Amino acid sequence: MITIYGSPRSSSGRCFWCLEEIGKTYEAKPLNFKEKDHKSPAYLKINPNGKVPTLTDDDFVIWESIAINFYLAETYKPELLGLDNKQHGLVQQWSLWGITELQPPIIGAFIQLVFVPEERRDNGIIEKAMAKIPGLLKVLNDALEGKSYLVGDDFTLADLNAASIVSLCSEIKFDLTAYKNIQIWLAQISERPAFKKYQKLH
């Protein structure tokens, strides 16, 4: 039995989406951050970081959202990893680029704009983040020129992991109009039945 800890509106979100893509039944265990459920001794036993997501598959335990998605794909839907070693490498490339390059500025701005009350916002963090995002989105937009997906001819974890970050642009009111290829890519991905199911979980 697969169990995912955390809410779909957190870093766990991309794992919920991946679970919908692989089509396996799973149990969702939301944690109450206000009650510090994520710092409870029972939860720290499965994730000593005290963060979400964590996924268990019977007695196997794994944390870090990108690693969880690679585990799920490898175990239950290998075609999400690409069709050969080269595609597999590129799927990792885009997933790691997403989490290490694109996510920090987007999440930096997101935390300030969504969680920090206006009077306590650090505009310096927001400005720095907003200045970094265009160059990163240009890399993604250029990579999508003439292509429907990032790797090969089909949807892979590269698209899922990267799109799960880019889609936060709407929450931080970052205008994507200048990035036509990204807009088309996101629109196409958002038509996926698994994505729609994941969206309904919010």
Ligand X SMILES: N[C@@H](CCC(=O)N[C@@H](CS)C(=O)NCC(=O)O)C(=O)O
Q: Does 65 bind ligand X (CB under 6 A)?
A: yes
Residue 163 beta carbon to ligand X: minimum distance, rounded to whole angstroms:
15
Tokens for 135?
Answer: 């160059």
Q: Which is nearer to ligand X, 110 or 174 (CB)?
A: 110
**Binding to ligand X in span 132-191, by CB under 6 A:** none
Whole-number Å distance between alpha carbons of 126 and 181: 25
SS3 content of the chain, % helix, strand, coil (to 5): 60, 10, 30
CB 165 within 8 A of CB 201: no
Start-to-end Cα distance in the chain: 22
Q: Which of 53, 82, 105, 152 binds ligand X (CB under 6 A)?
A: 53
Q: Which is nearer to ligand X, 50 or 135 (CB)?
A: 50
- From residue 21, give the alpha-carbon distance in Å to each of 3, 7, 77, 91: 15, 17, 8, 16
Q: Does 95 bind ligand X (CB under 6 A)?
A: no
Q: Which is nearer to ligand X, 99 or 144 (CB)?
A: 99
Q: Does 44 bind ligand X (CB under 6 A)?
A: no
User: In terms of Cα–Cα distance, which of 189, 176, 193 is closest to 150?
Assistant: 189
Q: Which of 51, 69, 73, 102 binds ligand X (CB under 6 A)?
A: 51
Q: Does 38 bind ligand X (CB under 6 A)?
A: yes
Q: Does 70 bind ligand X (CB under 6 A)?
A: no
- Choose the binding region for ligand X from 49-57, 83-91, 121-129, 135-143 (rule: CB under 6 A): 49-57
CB 134 within 8 A of CB 71: no
Q: Does 11 bind ligand X (CB under 6 A)?
A: yes
How many residues touch ligand X (CB under 6 A)? 9
How many C-beta atoms lie closer than 10 Å to residue 39's C-beta? 12
Residue 50 beta carbon to ligand X: minimum distance, rounded to whole angstroms:
5
Residues interacting with ligand X, by CB under 6 A?
10-11, 38, 50-53, 64-65
